[in-house]
Structure 1
């Protein structure tokens, strides 16, 4: 990391003080020739060190994007996909290195190594929420990955609807803040618990784990919630039956949403004095 001009100049002055042949340079005037020269040399050195930093950052970026056979390489290339833009012949990069945000439809991606293949999960954004790619978009993206992937690597590319989470909660609430339905007394929110659950799921990292204990911590962070208890949790994806979640859950699609109707119908509110 480049030093400041003052740091470099001080190191020169320190070296000068240790050199007996330069002991005659004793003037402390800001216009002393020897001091001016230390500043000039310090500026030159500062410019050089900044060039070195810029060069190192550029090389690191090239290395990071050119590493083959790594899961992160596939994630990086997925995010660079530009829908409707032609990929040059025998190239894994577009002619224009700058990504056009209007056609960069892959907002989230995760690569998972499975026996004999790599599964690449992707999602786009629709109205500020994660959503699967359309059939046409997924077909184009699959063709793109097949062109740039490493030889011999089998790919499974998926972009599915979110996994669905069902929750049964018992909320011990402060009657000074919430009412018996869980709404805020001041009228600012009708469903603060449901809204907090939605925000918690939305904030999960793509392909990250849903952890019961983390949800409980989020519930108890709601103003007016004294104790939050997860009585029952279950999740599903595609057309599979719901599977109970006791500790953690890895969403198959890479992201998940709450069954809001189920949550509202299965949330019990019990008045409790502040702890």
Structure 2
């Protein structure tokens, strides 16, 4: 970082004052010739300092454009996508002339993105938008525009697979041992404050999971045991499904292929058993 003119001036004056040959110079006059020359030299030194700073910043910018991009860079790139907006030619930036902050935010439809390098060196990008407060896949038109955006901005030679999928399906079979002073045999609160507190807790757990994060049966069980009136939890079965593949039993944990899990319409099998 460049030093100030005063810094260099004081460095020169300190050297002059400490020099045996120059110690007889007039130190009291603010306009002594050597002080004026000292200021000129200090200004030159400051100018060179600033030029070196500019040069260093330029070199860093060049290095940033030349180094290979990381998975995080591609994730950030995906989140910057604006639906319905053209890029500045030969860049990954939008012109956004005449758009205010709220209009730009409305065009940024991708809420979550996850990037992973595959074993063959290609990359996979998963993206979703937010619809009615929950994750949802992009429409055909939206995914087409996003693929064109990635094709225009990715590194040359990098193979990228792009997915925006419906959620992986989840089926659960659970034993709930409940306190009969708080819950009834259907799982509803006796005081009427909630009719399906266990189901609500399961949905809340799934929605709270980080996109492309790990579902774990133990963590789900912990969350359910925090529900008022639930004494013990037994997860008898937890199965997931993606695409048209069959449901498979989850061995404690799974990362959903779509990046998120949701319980199917018939996915809850909850056996309520009073805890004596």
Q: TM-score, normalised by structure 1?
A: 0.73
What does the per-residue CA deviation read over 1:228-261, in whole Å, with 9 as the maximum and x for residues that have no partner?
1110010001111001002101100001101242
Look up the match of 1:85: 85
Task: Work out the CA distance in 1 between the residues paired with 2:237 and 2:126.
Answer: 28
The Cα offsets for residues 108-148 of structure 1, whole Å up to 9 and x where unpaired, read as 00001102210000000001100000000000000000111
Q: Residues 31-110 of structure 1: matches in 2 within 5 Å?
A: 68-96=68-96, 100-110=104-114
Tell me if 1:270 matches 2:273.
yes
Residue of structure 1 equivalent to 2:255 = 250
- CA positional deviation for 1:68: 4.2
Q: CA deviation at 1:77?
A: 0.7
Q: What do the CA deviations read for 1:203-226 (whole angstroms, capped 9, x no partner)?
A: 000000101110010010111100
Cα root mean square deviation, aligned: 2.0
The runs of 4+ residues in structure 1 deviating greater than 3 Å are: 65-68, 96-99
Query: Is the CA contact (8 Å cut-off) linking 2:79 and 2:111 kept in structure 1?
Result: yes
| SS of aligned partner of 1:262 | strand
Matches within 5 A, 1:7-22: none
Residue 123 (structure 1) aligns with: 128
- Whole-Å separation in 2 of the counterparts to 1:222 and 1:77: 40
What do the CA deviations read for 1:42-74 (whole angstroms, capped 9, x no partner)? xxxxxxxxxxxxxxxxxxxx99x9674200001
In structure 1, C-alpha distance between the alignment counterparts of 2:145 and 2:104, rounded to whole Å: 16
Contact 2:96 2:104 (8 Å CA) reproduced: no
The answer to whether residue 171 in structure 2 is matched with residue 171 in structure 1 is no
Is this contact kept in 1: 2:170–2:267, CA < 8 A?
Answer: no
Alignment length (residue pairs): 210
Q: Distance in 1 between matches of 2:148 and 2:154?
A: 10
Structure label with greater radius of gyration: 2
